[in-house]
């Protein structure tokens, strides 16, 4: 699966008040692994940046005067994200601004949802951590992601942090490709044949390096849980 972790910065909070994008940043992952490919650009919004947005991003109006406009980069940007699953924190905000920019380009450009599936990590975090703060900074702290380099909001660093947060939040989710693709249409069922063992299964035991790596993972889970995680609660012994 190809995924794009995306973040934007804007002149203000309200797209309906004519605020515009000033930065787009994306990081590519394939099969949950960063590929090293990224897309990032600043944009001339043809309007002033609100004081609140300027304080959050550190971006000044003068800095953007010689930057391209969205129309100059739209085809390159869409080519980078086309067909991928977009991972965005508070996706309603970013997608709303992206769709507003696309609408200015004409109907032929459609909407982001026409090109990509969108996964909102804020929705995911609220389901997983109800009643808790779920900003990107709060999630970094909760999940042990180092965000010490994030003095200001910036598209590329926020995308990098979000990629780590997403991978940490979904580390227990494993995709098993069992060759059923194409059979999972609406109303279709897949019949699984019973597994018959003709000999006793061979037990594979972890070696010392694997046990050490497992202990490191448990330490990380303990840190995220703020104490002893559920994986160590087995009459005082770690679960192996």
Give the model confidence (pLDDT) of 129-143 as tens digits. Answer: 999 999 999 999 999
Q: Which residues pair with 234 in a beta bridge?
A: 237
Q: What is the pLDDT of residues 31-49, one digit of tens each?
A: 999 999 999 999 999 999 9
In this prediction, residue 177 carries a pLDDT of 35
The C-alpha angle 84, 89, 95, rounded to 5 degrees, equals: 60
Please check the confidence at residue 229 and state whether its pLDDT lies above 70. no
DSSP 16: G
For residue 154, what pLDDT is reported?
77
Q: Is 9 helix (H, G, I), strand (E, B) or coil?
A: strand
Q: Which residues are CB-neighbours of 6 under 8 A, at least 6 positions away?
A: 24, 25, 26, 81, 86, 87, 88, 94, 159
pLDDT of residue 147: 84
Question: Quick check: 86 pLDDT over 90?
Answer: yes
Tell how strand 117-120 and strand 21-30 pair up: unpaired
Please say if 240 is a catalytic residue: no
Residue-wise pLDDT for 90-106, tens only, equals: 999 999 999 999 999 99
* Confidence at residue 24, expressed as pLDDT on a 0 to 100 scale: 97
Q: Is the pLDDT of residue 213 over 90?
A: no
Strand (E) or helix (H) holding 46 = none
Report the distance separating Cα 234 and Cα 116, nearest Å: 43
The CA distance from 122 to 87, in Å, is 10
Q: What does the alpha-carbon distance between residue 43 and residue 64 come to, in Å, rounded to a whole number?
A: 6
Where is pLDDT greater, at 186 or 228?
228
For residue range 140-184, list pLDDT tens digits in order.
Answer: 999 999 888 776 677 888 999 999 999 999 985 433 333 333 333
Q: Is the pTM of this model over 0.85?
A: no
Residue, of 47 and 239, whose pLDDT is higher: 47
pLDDT at 25: 96
- 19, 38, 89, 153: the active-site residue: 153
Structural domains of the chain ordered from first start: 2-169 (3.30.420.10), 205-240 (no CATH)
């Amino acid at each position: 699966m190809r995924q794009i972790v995306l973040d934007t910065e804007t002149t203000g909070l309200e797209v309906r008040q004519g605020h515009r994008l000033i930065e787009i940043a994306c990081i590519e992952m394939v099969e949950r692994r960063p590929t090293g490919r990224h897309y990032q650009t600043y944009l001339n919004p043809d309007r002033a940046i609100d004081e609140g947005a300027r304080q959050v991003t550190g971006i000044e109006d003068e800095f953007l005067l010689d930057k391209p406009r969205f129309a100059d980069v739209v085809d390159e940007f869409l080519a980078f994200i086309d067909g991928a699953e977009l991972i965005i924190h508070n996706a309603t905000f970013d997608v709303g601004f992206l769709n507003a920019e696309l609408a200015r380009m004409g109907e032929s450009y459609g909407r982001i949802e026409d090109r990509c599936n969108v996964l909102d990590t804020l929705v995911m975090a609220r389901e997983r951590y109800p009643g808790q703060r779920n900003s990107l900074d709060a999630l970094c702290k909760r999940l042990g992601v180092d965000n010490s380099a994030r003095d200001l909001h910036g598209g590329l660093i926020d995308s990098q942090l979000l990629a780590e947060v997403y991978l940490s939040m979904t580390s227990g989710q494993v995709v098993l490709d069992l060759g059923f693709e194409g059979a999972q249409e609406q109303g279709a069922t897949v019949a699984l044949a019973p597994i018959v063992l003709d000999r006793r299964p061979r037990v594979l035991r972890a070696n010392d390096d694997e046990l050490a790596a497992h202990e490191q993972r448990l330490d990380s889970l303990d840190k995220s849980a703020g104490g002893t995680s559920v994986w160590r609660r087995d009459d005082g012994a770690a679960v192996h």
